Amino acid sequence: PYKGPSRVEVEKIRREKLTPALLTYYKDPLLINQGHMQWLYDNEQRRYLDLFGGIVTVSVGHCHPKVNAALEEQSNLLWHTTNIYMHPKIHEYAEKLIAKMPPHLNTVYFVNSGSDANDLAMLMARMYTGRYDVMSFRNAYHGASPYLMGLTSLSTWRYQVPSGFGVHQTMNPDVYRGPWGGKNCRDSPIQTDRSCDCQPGQCNACDMYMEQLHDVIRHSMPKSGLAGFFAESIQGVGGTVQFPKGYLKKAFDLVREKGGVCISDEVQTGFGRTGDHFWGFEGHDIQPDIVTMAKGIGNGFPLAAVVTTKEIADTMKTSNALHFNTYGGNPLSCAVGSAVLDTIEEDGCQKVSKEIGTYLLEEFAKMKQQYPMIGDVRGKGLMIGIEMVDDAASRAPMKAEIIGNIWENAKDNGVLLGKGGLYSNVFRIKPPMCITKEDADFALAVFKNALEASI
């Protein structure tokens, strides 16, 4: 049993002593004391099904015994030297991680967070191309450093300071809320891979969004051209936005034609999350030049990485500068990362993502038929978004108060959901990839009950 300070005492410390800009979920924030696999336990031993996995971070399960064992073993051997000496764990792990990538992506830099990784990727793109300007999508989240505050184009995460010099945004190709999308890509009843499925001539979304990208490159940027283009395979924080089929491939082709490099941010979509593939980008038939990864890579341990080609990595040496990161690739995080990769394989996490994710998508899509307040159900594998609306025809985002009621009700009944999207009206479901069908049924029943209670 929990023996620490009460929930109210902890909340008081948080409000008074921690940064006031901290995001705190729920009217009565939970005091989480323990986790085991897909479950979290609060200070009163109440159990919650964790459908948000610490924002997609817990990949194989909270306190997974295999990962815990690897961490413990390494913690008794060596914690830290910085990379100034060699250590077998970092080299073993680098090889194991690279083995998961397409052959041209063969060089890895270890860092500690997704922001670190994207900062480094931006620097690499600039060093390699000798250009400065980079592009991301409106509605993207790539991190919170001053560099990245510009690349992250959601106002929620931006302060009124100069940030993101040389960053440009193109429209995010959202076939539900954006201006373009055909009948099929908006209204198909059951979609388990909800990119636009329209036949040629039915829908011009892909072409229209491509035209937008072209337009920004042609008219908004310096004539010297683009250094890099950042894209998530499915937008995470932005509300599980999937792009029209073929869009990313065409976008990558255009960026390359203009001399830029293509960066896939796999912080949320990597490590089997989308079910069909280990990396989200594989679902788009694209070959990035740089891949950034964090969150699920360490199952909650601070670990992130940038994987790129030898040629791009080599340009990091050109000005005789060194790239240094005190904790990047420390023995503890490499032991954890390595155990996570083994566990994804041994526990069949990708298969769980595919099977349980598809089941959830199908069941939520059926629920959509019954409840017009569910405007859209989309995603792939265990990366699911449920966009809530006031009115199915106008797609006006559901009022914050009703969203909040549904969310609180689900929590009170033992299910933790995430939220996101431009209007914070998308429920985000991204549980640890050890969830069972029984858990999925429980979650569906709780969600339905929460909808009923809010009508």
Binding positions for ligand PMP, rule: CB under 6 A: 55, 113-115, 118, 141-143, 232, 236-237, 265, 267-268, 294
User: Which residue, 156 or 224, is less far from ligand PMP as judged by CB?
Assistant: 156
Minimal distance, residue 270 CB to ligand PMP, in Å = 10
Task: Write down the residue that tokens 């390494």 correspond to.
Answer: 74
Residues 6+ apart with CB under 8 A from 137: 153, 169, 170, 171, 172, 173, 230, 231, 232, 235, 238
Q: State in angstroms the smallest separation of the CB of 418 from ligand PMP.
A: 11
If the CB atoms of residues 244 and 298 are measured against ligand PMP, the closer one turns out to be: 298
Structure tokens at 300: 């909650």
Q: Find the shortest distance in angstroms from Cβ 438 to ligand PMP.
A: 29
**SS3 assignment, position 204:** coil
Q: How far is CA 413 from CA 29, 91, 366, in A?
A: 15, 45, 22
Q: Which residues pair with 426 in a beta bridge?
A: 387, 420
Helix 65-75 vs helix 331-346: angle between axes, to the nearest 10 degrees?
160
Q: Which is nearer to ligand PMP, 182 or 238 (CB)?
A: 238
- Backbone φ and ψ for 285, nearest 5 degrees, come out as 55, 45
Measured from the CB atom, the residue of 120 and 450 that comes closer to ligand PMP is 120
Q: How far is the CB of 237 from ligand PMP (least distance, A)?
A: 5
What CA–CA distance (Å, rounded) separates 393 from 83?
57
Sign, CA dihedral 76-79-81-84, equals positive
User: Which residue number, 143 or 181, has a Cβ lying nearer to ligand PMP?
Assistant: 143
Residue 103, judged by CB atoms within 10 A of its CB (0-12, 13-18, 19+), counts as exposed
Query: Which of 349, 450, 377, 443 lies closest to 188, judged by CA?
Result: 377
In this structure, what are the phi and psi dihedrals at residue 24, rounded to the nearest 5 degrees? -125, 120
CA-nearest of 216, 278, 293, 297 to 251 is: 216
Q: Assess contact for 387 and 378: CB atoms under 8 A.
A: yes
CA gap 284, 316 in Å, rounded: 29
CB nearer to ligand PMP: pick between 62 and 142: 142
**Closest CB to ligand PMP among 55 and 444?**
55
In angstroms, give the least distance from the CB of 131 to ligand PMP: 22
Residue 394 Cβ vs ligand PMP, minimum distance, rounded to whole Å: 29
Q: Which residue is nearest to ligand PMP (CB)?
A: 114
Question: What Cα–Cα distance (Å) separates residue 166 from each residue in 132, 135, 249, 255?
Answer: 6, 8, 24, 16
Q: Toward ligand PMP, which CB reaches closer, 118 or 338?
A: 118
Smallest gap from Cβ 182 to ligand PMP, in A, equals 27
Task: Please check whether residue 127 is in contact with residue 318, taking contact to mean a CB–CB distance below 8 angstroms.
Answer: yes
Q: Are 427 and 389 in contact (CB under 8 A)?
A: no
Question: What's the maximum distance between 2 C-alpha atoms anywhere in the chain?
Answer: 64
Least Cβ distance, residue 56 to ligand PMP (angstroms): 7
**Which of 141, 447 has the CB closer to ligand PMP?**
141
At closest approach, how far in Å is the CB of 257 from ligand PMP? 25
Which lies closer to ligand PMP via its Cβ, residue 55 or residue 254?
Answer: 55
Rounded to a whole number of angstroms, the minimum distance from the CB of residue 101 to ligand PMP is 18
Which residues on neighbouring strands pair with residue 428, listed in sequence order? Answer: 385, 418
116/289 with CB nearer ligand PMP: 116
Question: What minimum distance in Å lies between the beta carbon of 294 and ligand PMP?
Answer: 5
